[in-house]
Structure 1
């Protein structure tokens, strides 16, 4: 599965799916995603998580680019 960059921002404040994903409980999917840092072009390995928003499960890959900077990737369709 491929992953596309969605957003990056301060840890605790990233929006995806129209909401701040840090305000929802995450389920670790026990998978990883290899993604490319859009700013530096470096490959990173992020964990894959699932959140339920309005009754719909949504998957994303997320992790820190640097101290306090969190990145979010969504599955490519």
Structure 2
């Protein structure tokens, strides 16, 4: 079981890369699995969807969900490289 680390709040269509891949340029395959994560500001638990992006080079797994007021949080497994905006 992976430990999920909050990385950033994301905005639709604003470049956001995980391991060098811009997540907005790929189809997100929803695994239909909910992952419990902890909100970075409130410390409250949330159940967000787990997604995968498959590229020819690699498969990237991440968790995304909405906290409130359109604020969307992005989480990656702790062992993944840094995300860049």
Q: Report if TM-score (shorter chain) is over 0.5.
A: yes
Higher CA-based Rg = 2
Structure 2 gaps of 5+ residues are: 80-85
Q: What TM-score do you get using the length of structure 2 for normalisation? A: 0.75
Between Structure 1 and Structure 2, the one with more strand by share is: 1
Q: CA RMSD in A?
A: 1.9
Which portions of structure 1, spanning 4 or more consecutive aligned residues, are displaced by more than 2 angstroms? 9-14, 52-55
Q: What TM-score do you get using the length of structure 1 for normalisation? A: 0.81
Higher mean displacement: 14-23 or 30-39: 14-23
Between the aligned partners of 1:69 and 1:20, the Cα distance in structure 2 is 19
